[in-house]
Amino acid sequence: MADLSGLKLRKLNKTNWDEYPVGGSFTPPHYPGIYTGRLKSLEFQSKDGFLTAVADTIIEDALEGRNVELRDWLFTKPIQQGRRKGSCRAGDFLLACGSERRPGEDPQEWADALEECVDGLFQFQLDWSCYDTESSTEHARNYEDFPVDPENPDVRQPFILIKDADGNDKRLTARQRVRYYITNKV
């Protein structure tokens, strides 16, 4: 028997072995398409000196057995080039929520406008991505980047197999992401 007398240990809570969770479970992402989300909470951060809101969302029209949670980063930093120059992800989100607020240069105005959208509904285009946190590498950005399911060639597998730094097989699962917000602005 192990001698634990020299350790300062607390008494454990009683374990319910009948309902003990065994193994991990993978809830597959939704297939790409347009969905309705509800903003549940925001957490504000600073990135490169610009306000960023981490938005936790629930998919309202979720399919049974699919992941209903979604996280997005609403950046106020303006896009610097291309046809979307001057717009930002947080602005797209405000428009998608139907907000009439048009924040200016003050980050507090942006935070206040975004907070008014908590519990609000919005539409978005869902897609998949796949990121390896150990190597900081993105392996897939879109649903089409995932391998075709050999048993059902009309769909993609919700994972990618890669080799880790030691040459061992590693399975990376798909994450659902907001590709863009439906702004209803013509």
DSSP assignments along 102-123, one per residue: ---S-HHHHHHHHHTTTT-EEE
Q: What pLDDT, on the 0 to 100 scale, is given for residue 186? A: 42
Mean pLDDT, all residues of the chain: 88
Residues 168 and 156: their CA atoms lie apart, in Å, by: 23
Torsions phi, psi for 113 (to 5 deg): -65, -45
Phi-psi category of residue 88: left, alpha or beta, with phi > 0 → left and psi -120 to 50 → alpha: beta
**Interior/surface letters 84-102, b for 16+ CB within 10 angstroms, e for the rest:** eeeebbbbbbbbbbebeee
By CB atoms closer than 10 A (0-12, 13-18, 19+), residue 46 is exposed
Taking residues 161-182, what's their average pLDDT?
Answer: 90
Which two structure tokens, joined as six digits, stand for 100? 């009439």
Interval 68-87: pLDDT, tens: 999 999 999 988 888 888 88
Q: What pLDDT, on the 0 to 100 scale, is given for residue 160? A: 92
- Domain range spanning residue 151? 28-181
Q: What pLDDT, on the 0 to 100 scale, is given for residue 174? A: 92
Percent of the chain with pLDDT over 70: 90
Residue for token pair 């347009």: 34
Is 48 a member of any domain?
yes
Is 124 a member of any domain?
yes
With a cut of 80, say whether residue 45 has pLDDT above it: yes
Is 15 a member of any domain?
no
Is 172 a member of any domain?
yes
Is 1 a member of any domain?
no
Q: What pLDDT, on the 0 to 100 scale, is given for residue 175? A: 92
Is 51 a member of any domain?
yes
Q: What pLDDT, on the 0 to 100 scale, is given for residue 22? A: 56
- Number of domains composing the chain: 1
Nearest to 149 by CA among 19, 6, 22, 31: 31
Interval 13-25: pLDDT, tens: 777 776 665 556 6
Percent of the chain with pLDDT over 90: 61
With a cut of 70, say whether residue 133 has pLDDT above it: yes
